[in-house]
Structure 1
Amino acid sequence: MSRHYFHQDLWAARKVYENKPENHIDVGSRIDGFVAHLLTFRTVEVLDVRKMNSSVKGMTFRQVNLMEFQKVPGSVCDSLSCLHALEHFGLGRYGDPIDPEGHIKGLKSLTKMLKSGGTLLLSVPTGKERIEFNGHRIFSVTTILNLTTSDYDLVSFSYIDDTNTLYENVDTSFVPTMLYGCGLYELKKK
């Protein structure tokens, strides 16, 4: 559902602008939203499992399957974004191989790419856990925190609820039950 993208893209672009990283890489986010916002003030390297031909000024592209951990370079950036993309890894929707652990493998690859002390901006659908095959996964906040806690510190958490209202910098323990919201995680690699 595209309703999350407006708030999500602005949230993440503001974080990148405020943090002023040396090297920002995006994985799988919207080119016509978030990446376009970034291109107004910086260069961006974009990685995606899908092929793309582009001559957009300031943007470089590499086709990469982040579920193939051994092919992912290590410690290459101090800022990384993956917005509304991780939930698709391993479901075959975008030509990637079916892999029930695709989201976990993808997260491990994101962690590998990011330098220690670097920032990961991650957004995923949030609500009652389920897979809507072959569309996407919906994660609970607890699941994402459990998947990230060994490698990251949570800097901030925001979310978009079922009414498309953005709540910024909230305590993760006070997130209401949602059918299809969006969790926005600002994480710092240990």
Structure 2
Amino acid sequence: MKLKAFLLVLFGAYPRRTSTLRYLPLYLQQKAAFVAAGGEIAHEHAIFEDYADQAGTARGHYFHQDLLVAGFVHTAKPLRHIDVGSRIDGFVAHVAAFRPIEVIDIRPLSMTKHQNICYVQGNLMDLDPGLHEVCDSLSCLHAIEHFGLGRYGDPVDPLGHRRGFDNLVRMLKGGGHLYVSFPIGRSAVHFNAHRVFDPTEVLGWAGDRLELLRFDYVDDAGDLHLDQSLATPPRLDYGCGIYSFRKRPAAANA
């Protein structure tokens, strides 16, 4: 087979792999060794980027927030934990590995055979009165920035994030824990994708109803910074703030 035709076979469906052509000699050497050892090849897939790739991705917003907050829930051992809108194949799966978790999302979810995941479809901007003060632990990770922008079929509302946050507080019993995360940096609306908030903005939403227990964040490079002070908030373009609050008992009816 001529070289051009050979390369079309290898890279036709994977044009980005041409940048890893330096691994072609190694690929051919391994292929020849496999055949010489009696191996039979039915199809060839030149996945050259895996020669130098890492074992996986251990950075970024979702990796850090999902693992960190799941650890908080495990340590706290709440009686009832409810999640609103977080990633099912990330945070929710982490928590469901060791305890039941109830999930509320405006989007539908296909049935799962995992008994630790209980799903209910709902719009947090319009809270059912039956959900007032129902849990002692609550999470909403990388979701509230979307509320009211229409991206996920939700009603358009410029104050959707505030309505959602107030309803999170209403769901929580006095003394309960709220874990919330969202993009932080220079405050802006990216319609209809998401919002970015100033790192200290959420303190105004919380008012005297919530006590901030700790603040963690993921920086622009995807690295985690643990238990930081908001007295000197980080300067970021698009980071992720992870906030752990406790609802003050006096705010039980807020």
> Normalised by the shorter chain, which TM-score bucket?
over 0.9
Residue of structure 2 aligned with 1:177, choices 226, 232, 235: 235
**Equivalences for residues 137-156 of structure 1 within 5 A:** 137-156=195-214
**Equivalences for residues 23-172 of structure 1 within 5 A:** 23-55=80-112, 56-71=114-129, 73-172=131-230
SS, match of residue 123 in structure 1: strand
With over 3 angstroms needed to count, the CA separation of the structure-2 counterparts of 1:97 and 1:7, relative to structure 1, is same
CA distance in structure 2 between the partners assigned to 1:93 and 1:150 by the alignment: 31
Misfit runs of 4+, over 3 Å: 69-72
Give 1 or 2 for the bigger CA radius of gyration. 2
CA distance in structure 2 between the partners assigned to 1:54 and 1:125 by the alignment: 30
Equivalent residues, number: 189
**What's the offset of the Cα at 1:54?**
1.9
In the superposition, the TM-score normalised over structure 2's length comes to 0.72
What letter corresponds to residue 145 of structure 2 in structure 1? E
After superposition, the C-alpha distances for 1:83-122 in whole angstroms (9 at most, x for unaligned) are: 0000000000000000001001001111111000000000
In the superposition, the TM-score normalised over structure 1's length comes to 0.96
**What's the offset of the Cα at 1:47?**
0.2
**What's the offset of the Cα at 1:70?**
4.9
Structure 1: tracts of 5 or more residues without a match: none
CA distance in structure 1 between the partners assigned to 2:130 and 2:209 by the alignment: 17
CA distance in structure 1 between the partners assigned to 2:105 and 2:128 by the alignment: 16
What letter corresponds to residue 11 of structure 1 in structure 2? L
Higher deviation after alignment, 66-75 or 144-153? 66-75
After superposition, the C-alpha distances for 1:6-59 in whole angstroms (9 at most, x for unaligned) are: 001011001000100000000000000000000110000000011112222211
**What's the offset of the Cα at 1:165?**
1.1
**What's the offset of the Cα at 1:174?**
2.2
Alignment RMSD (CA, Å) = 1.2
Structure 2: tracts of 5 or more residues without a match: 1-58, 249-254
**What's the offset of the Cα at 1:150?**
2.3
What letter corresponds to residue 131 of structure 1 in structure 2? V
Q: Quick one: percent identity of the two aligned structures?
A: 48
What letter corresponds to residue 142 of structure 2 in structure 1? H
CA distance in structure 2 between the partners assigned to 1:50 and 1:71 by the alignment: 20
More helix by share: 2
More strand by share: 1
After superposition, the C-alpha distances for 1:134-182 in whole angstroms (9 at most, x for unaligned) are: 0000001221111113210000011100011111111012232100000
